[in-house]
Structure 1
Amino acid sequence: MKDTKPWLKPALELGPVLVFFLVFILRRGETTVIAGQEYSAFILATLVFIPALALTTAIQWRLTGRLAPMQVATLVLVIVFGGLSVWLNDPRFFKIKPTMIYLLFAAILGYSLIARRNWLQAVLSEALPMDAQGWRKLTFRMVMLFLALAAANEIVWRTMSETSWVYFKTFGLPVILFVFLMANAGLYRAHATEPSADDKGE
């Protein structure tokens, strides 16, 4: 893996989301005509978000030489559901995209628990060294988190305004994920392992 600045990865991941938010807020209540078709601010923001995410994902792959499976899955679902929203001029498809992503992640991690394969450990072990029991506990908690996030997304977009959903997607979900990671600090400490001799020699 190529060395990159520590701030670059989160900047690339958050960049498209902030672009979506700014386009929506700046054009909220207005319509944009493209090729004779009127689009709301939400659809316009979605139209901008799709290539922005594709670009930042390509940059990450170019800089690091690899992409996490979840990044690839997210990009595919964004293209599919975002594309449907733009093509059909219907924001509902893009709003259910987070639900599909979180259910997919929950299913993948849930299967890894049943199959007794620590896929989460394979992805994050370098940054977070823990024993096998710690990874099983964290995986189970993340399955529960993703199921709760899927349910929360459905409740918000179906019962609240479009603006409320945009704020929830842009700021609420990242805050929830951050709080979840911080709340598991005790788990990280209790199951922490020492770096291997090979790691120490690198």
Structure 2
Amino acid sequence: MSEQGRKWVTWFVDYFALAAWLIGYFISGKDLQQATWALVGGSAIALVVGFAVERRLAPFPAIAGGAALVFGGLTLAFHDARFLKVKPTVMNLIFAVLMFGGLILRKHPLKLLLGEAFEMPDDAWRKLTLRYGIFFAALAGLNEVVWRTQSEQTWVLFRFPGLVLITLVFSVAQAPLLMKYMKGDELPPPPVE
């Protein structure tokens, strides 16, 4: 498969379940229980497609898809949307604990994911890990505030695409730190006039 094809598969695996959930929510007349069926089905499809194309389950899609299946399944089994609403809180807290735990153990979880693209000194990995740990903890708190104080529709839109956009903006804000250490052969060529 071409590099472009793999990128499309990555996007599909990462966002198909959430897109199916959002569409299911509005098509069902804003019925979160019915939309959860779309989330669970979409998660299963995304995981199968990811495995079929790559012959493995990438860690983050596997974790996200598995969590969607678990929390979505609990929502459907108990007819209680709170399970689905606390999923972003729980997942972001897990990611925050992984980041902070890595700092305590003097390990750098992000280095495992980004180490091939960035050769950074330990101090830079610590900064990035700390920033992401704080970010994930803040997202968990923000999700709690939104689902407990806002309408269900507001929370749905906050969940997707809101959290994705917030994460994108935060990640782009880390670019100055990462650019200092990006490998020279990965830098784009200078513009030609």
Alignment TM class, shorter chain as reference: 0.7 to 0.9
In structure 1, the residue corresponding to 2:80 is in which secondary structure? coil
- Cα distance in 1, alignment partners of residues 116 and 54 from structure 2: 15
- The within-5 A match list for 1:139-178 is 139-178=129-168
Report the alpha carbon displacement of residue 130 of structure 1 after superposing the two structures with TM. 3.2
Question: Which sections of structure 1, spanning at least 5 residues, go unmatched?
Answer: 30-40, 196-202
Aligned length: 183
Moved over 6 A (4+): none
- Cα distance in 1, alignment partners of residues 80 and 47 from structure 2: 25
Selected match of 1:191 from 175, 181, 188: 181
Deviates more, 1:128-137 or 1:49-58: 128-137
Deviations 1:52-99 (A, max 9, x none): 112212221222233343333323322222111111111111100110
Report the alpha carbon displacement of residue 22 of structure 1 after superposing the two structures with TM. 0.8
Question: Which sections of structure 2, spanning at least 5 residues, go unmatched?
Answer: 186-193
- Cα distance in 2, alignment partners of residues 160 and 154 from structure 1: 10
Q: Does 1:25 align with 2:15?
A: no
Kindly provide the amino acid, as one letter, of the partner of residue 163 in structure 1. Q
- Cα distance in 1, alignment partners of residues 160 and 62 from structure 2: 20
- Cα distance in 2, alignment partners of residues 64 and 124 from structure 1: 19
- Residue 109 of structure 1 aligns with which residue? 99
- Residue 68 of structure 2 aligns with which residue? 78
- Cα distance in 1, alignment partners of residues 14 and 62 from structure 2: 12
RMSD of Structure 2 on Structure 1 (CA)? 1.9
Q: Does 1:133 align with 2:123?
A: yes
Q: Using structure 1 for the length normalisation, give the TM-score.
A: 0.82
The answer on whether the counterparts of 2:14 and 2:61 sit within 8 Å (CA) in structure 1 is no
Selected match of 2:90 from 100, 122, 125: 100
- Residue 15 of structure 1 aligns with which residue? 16
Selected match of 1:124 from 114, 117, 122: 114
In structure 2, the residue corresponding to 1:6 is in which secondary structure? helix
Kindly provide the amino acid, as one letter, of the partner of residue 183 in structure 1. A
Report the alpha carbon displacement of residue 108 of structure 1 after superposing the two structures with TM. 1.1
- Cα distance in 1, alignment partners of residues 151 and 118 from structure 2: 39
Q: Using structure 2 for the length normalisation, give the TM-score.
A: 0.86
The answer on whether the counterparts of 1:130 and 1:193 sit within 8 Å (CA) in structure 2 is no
Deviates more, 1:54-63 or 1:141-150: 54-63
Kindly provide the amino acid, as one letter, of the partner of residue 23 in structure 1. G
Kindly provide the amino acid, as one letter, of the partner of residue 143 in structure 1. G
Report the alpha carbon displacement of residue 5 of structure 1 after superposing the two structures with TM. 2.5
Greater helix content: 2
